[in-house]
Structure 1
Amino acid sequence: MKLIQFILLSVFTILALGESVDEKFLDEIEKNGFLYFWEQADPITGQVKDRAFANGSKDDRHVSSIAATGFGLSVLVIAHNRNYFNQSLIEKRVMNTLKFIWENLEGHKGFFYHFVDMKTGKRVWNCELSSIDTAILINGVLTSKEYFVNNEFIKETAMNIYRRVDYKWMLNGQKVLSMGWKPEEGFLKDSWNRYCELMMLVLQAIGSPSHPIPAEYWHSFARDKYKYENYTFITVKSGAPLFVHQFSHAWYDFQGKHDNYADYFHNSVVATKAHKLWMTTEMAQKFPLYDNLFWGVTASDTINGYIAWGGPPIQGPIDGSVVPCATAGSIPFLPFETIAVLKYLKTKYPRSWHRYGFIDAFNPDKNWYNQDVIGIDVGISVLMVENFRTRFIWNTFMKNTHVLKSMEMAGFKRNSGEKKYFKELEFFLIIISVIIINYIN
């Protein structure tokens, strides 16, 4: 009897210590990530640098990504809630950011240019007016609104920014939204006509308080299924980076819900499992470093420049690199496997970790460690870690009445017999403990 009690006590002690270690590690990811969005944003305009040196050293790059700013607003909310920094200064930064977006950020019809000068807000690189990057920015704007409920300026400015977006115009006469527009050329040829990270954009458009698109347009994009071994999931049949299964989920809570086609949270679980299997079997035949503790690629820097790589099916020239935000962005979908990877990477490859957390990508076989971090990759890591830990961004963002309305109009319903999310390891140990106790009795 005493031996059994000792074993049970040991098991739960190990579990508690393991949770403590994981919490400390996950908090480190969030704190370091917050530093990026605090230090690499212009303090006056709030616009976040697209990329920066991983060690935090100064450089003369001045281009902001509006998507990085959208992630940044959400990270500021997390930092304020967790008291990572002076809360008054964080709130002031959010106010400055929203004021600049409303008054100075260059755009057209409420949409904004993908890349802008972080000090002036003016378009750079002859880039497109980006519908999806505007959607990510709006996600951050609405997260701020729902969190700072006692700040009338934030609430009013956030809604003004959202109301100004003319989603109907971005349809360009079609039933699917265009990927963007340029003043020199008009609308881009490509549109959001197939499953990917688009869900947040379409739902924003359906729920718009001023320029809504018809709810039936939710059914207008293709949902192609792909089978890899025993895993079948909706994806881009030609291959897709893992982020397509992550970005919309950073804000929209799809867990325990389904529309006429799928449970998209479960779809991302399956897509992540398939990605892990593909990398640790098929890709491991070419690159032996890939194993259960070394896997995960998504759009990132490579030794040869930026590439949108992923799979299955394979997209891009996989070369043995690993991209930490690929697993970090899937923590809510496959928590224990992904956290184990990240802890291993930090311990085994200390050069992969710097001031802002993990570098964007690295390849030990080629002795290549990226000197940069990329704003959106830091952002997805922080948001998904927080959602796994507390559901905070989900719970905050989903308070928005337009968000709730859009999901209802798109036909989302609760899964029958839904159970609350539980941690698989704890559940397993509880079952084992019950069996042992019953056996004793």
Structure 2
Amino acid sequence: MKLKLLIPFLALLGSCSVSKTKNSEKKLSDDELLTEVQRQTYKYFYEGAEPISGLSRERYHSDNIYPQNDKDIIATGASGFGIMGTIVAIERKFITRAQGYEHLKKGIDFLAKAERFHGAWAHWMYPSGKAKPFSKGDDAGDLVETSFLAQALVTLRQYYASGNAEEKALAQKADELWKGIDWNFYRKNNENVLYWHWSPTVGWKMNFAITGYNECLITYIMAACSPTHGVPAEVYHQGWAKSGKINTNISMYGHPIKLKHNVVGESVGPLFWAHYSYLGLNPKGLKDRYADYWQENRNQTLINYDYAIANPKGFKGYGKNSWGMTASYSVKGYKAHMPSEDFGVISPTAALSSYPYTPKESMQVIRNLYENMNDKVWGEFGFYDAYSETDNWYPKRYIGIDQGPIVVMIENGRTGLLWNLFMSAPEIKAGLKKLGFESPKI
């Protein structure tokens, strides 16, 4: 199954042309390999974008094993990741600055007209801009997915702040979109906690309070930083941090963890928890009364690395060159993989998006996948979502919310580009201070 839109895009993108799949033919330096992985992965958000909106598809299947009925569904969070990835693509000259502007403008114009619910977008949208139900009762506002997009809007605004007149106008439009999110409404009658969902048809029926620790730190950061609908610090401390109950004191493979992950038992969650909130939010030197976020994220990553080396379940292929568990496709359907929920599945985004925390260990995975596993795991949009050597399972499929952090976090590890842009925003500095954070960037 091929995307019809690939043909005209490939003609346009000389520097973004499809790479050879026999990747062992040329030995690339680490820098060259990182650039190649970023370039190929970014294509998901450019050549493979949903054509009407220019935003990110929820998923895309290159294989024909099962019909894909949702290839045109737009994912809000992944679209935010794609916006940040486009900034990387411009700076690395995968696309021209003019191409990047046109692509970003198309997406921002779509978001401005799309259905919103007290400022929040739905998890999924149709190309018409109408919300597509994610599940029963979850058919409208999704505050967490919206927060992933909001961090991108702030980053985009900062990127174009000193641009030409057209770029500054786009920055202004992005600014208006993020300032239109009514974070206070999602406190459900001014409770000191944020709620994930609201729907005009079922109201607060989902009743899902967002509490830590998981992937949602950025939701509270964006809510506190909003100059128009900002929530008080108590919402963060009493809601997210559960009045201090967010803390724990465990150690796995010699790596201490101070934040209690929302999983069964004393363990750590899937690695996307160390990625999604930190695409713009710089964890280096970031501390509050609960944690040192750089140490927490690095330790969670090292736990994954050491777990794969220990390989307590004896899965084929696990080791220093093949590690990393997160939410992805799985031999058991879509699963959130972690040490306590391990089915022998490796998700490339887990180690690749952890590159800032573990550059050496992540590079081992990148090189193994690219040089040794070749066509089994590499396709038109970079590495496929997941694989299992134990089950000889190599589906040729992509998920937007897994591809996006690869481009962004590798860049943060290389240059700090997105971290520097996001942390330069005055509202972010003020909001972090309000919550009691320390950072060399504020």
TM range (shorter): 0.7 to 0.9
Cα distance in 2 for residues equivalent to 1:224 and 1:309? 22
1:140 aligned to 139, 152, 164, which one? 152
The secondary structure found in structure 1 opposite 2:169 is: helix
Partner of residue 170, structure 2: 154
Give the secondary structure class of the aligned counterpart of 2:283. coil
Count the aligned residue pairs: 390
1:53 has 2:66 as partner: no
Q: CA deviation at 1:71?
A: 0.6
What SS does the corresponding residue of 1:109 show, helix, strand or coil? Answer: coil
Which amino acid in structure 2 is aligned with residue 64 of structure 1?
I
CA contact (8 A) 1:54 1:356 kept: no
Aligned partner (choices 26, 32, 38) of residue 24 of structure 1? 32
1:206 corresponds to which residue? 224
Counterpart CA distance in 2 for 1:148 and 1:270 is 35
The question of 1:295 aligning with 2:323 is answered: yes
1:232 paired residue among 249, 256, 261: 256
Q: Which deviates more, 123-132 or 383-392?
A: 123-132
Alignment deviations for residues 153-187 of structure 1 (CA, whole Å, 9 cap, x no partner): 21211111111100001011321111112333222
- Check whether the contact 1:297–1:309 (CA below 8 A) recurs between aligned residues: yes
Q: Shift in Å at residue 54 of structure 1?
A: 4.6
Question: Contact between 2:117 and 2:199, CA under 8 Å: does it hold in 1?
Answer: no
For 1:244, which of 273, 286, 291 is the aligned residue?
273
Matched letter for residue 175 of structure 1: N
Q: Are 1:40 and 2:48 counterparts?
A: yes
Question: Are 1:324 and 2:348 an aligned pair?
Answer: yes
Q: Secondary structure at the match of 1:258?
A: coil
Q: Is the 8 A contact 1:138 1:162 kept in 2?
A: yes
Query: Post-superposition shift, 1:92?
Result: 1.2
Q: Please state whether the residue corresponding to 2:32 is helix, strand or coil.
A: helix
Q: 1:197 aligns with which of 210, 215, 225?
A: 215
Per-residue deviation, 1:264:
0.5
Q: Could you tell me how far 1:67 is from its partner in structure 2?
A: 0.8
- Counterparts of residues 111-150 of structure 1 (less than 5 Å): 111-117=120-126, 119-125=127-133, 127=135, 128=138, 129-149=141-161, 150=163
- Deviation of 1:361 after TM superposition, in Å, equals 0.2
Superposed counterparts of 1:16-415, under 5 Å: 21-54=29-62, 61-103=71-113, 105-117=114-126, 119-125=127-133, 127=135, 128=138, 129-149=141-161, 150=163, 151-172=167-188, 173-187=190-204, 188-220=206-238, 221-222=240-241, 223-225=246-248, 226-233=250-257, 234-236=259-261, 237-238=263-264, 239-281=268-310, 283-311=311-339, 314=340, 316=341, 318-350=342-374, 351-414=376-439
Q: C-alpha displacement at 1:285, in angstroms?
A: 3.7
Comparing 205-214 with 225-234, greater Cα deviation is found at 225-234
1:126, distance to aligned residue in structure 2 (A):
5.2
Which of the pair has more CA radius of gyration?
1
* Partners of 1:257 and 1:86 in 2: CA distance: 34
CA drift of 1:94 comes to: 0.8
Normalising by structure 2, report the TM-score: 0.84
Paired letter, 2:175:
M
Is the contact made by 1:167 and 1:212 (CA closer than 8 Å) also made in structure 2? Answer: yes
Secondary structure at the counterpart of residue 334 of structure 2: strand
Q: Contact 1:68–1:376 (CA<8 Å) still a contact in 2?
A: yes
Structure 1's consecutive aligned runs of 4 or more residues displaced over 6 angstroms after TM superposition are none
Q: CA deviation at 1:280?
A: 2.1
**Which TM-score applies when normalising by structure 1?**
0.84
Q: Larger helix proportion, structure 1 or 2? A: 1
In structure 2, distance between residues paired with 1:94 and 1:287: 42
Question: Over aligned residues, Cα RMSD in angstroms?
Answer: 2.1
Matched letter for residue 89 of structure 2: A
Gaps of 5+ in 2: 1-26
- Counterpart residue type for residue 159 of structure 1: D
Unaligned runs of 5+ in 1: 1-18, 419-441
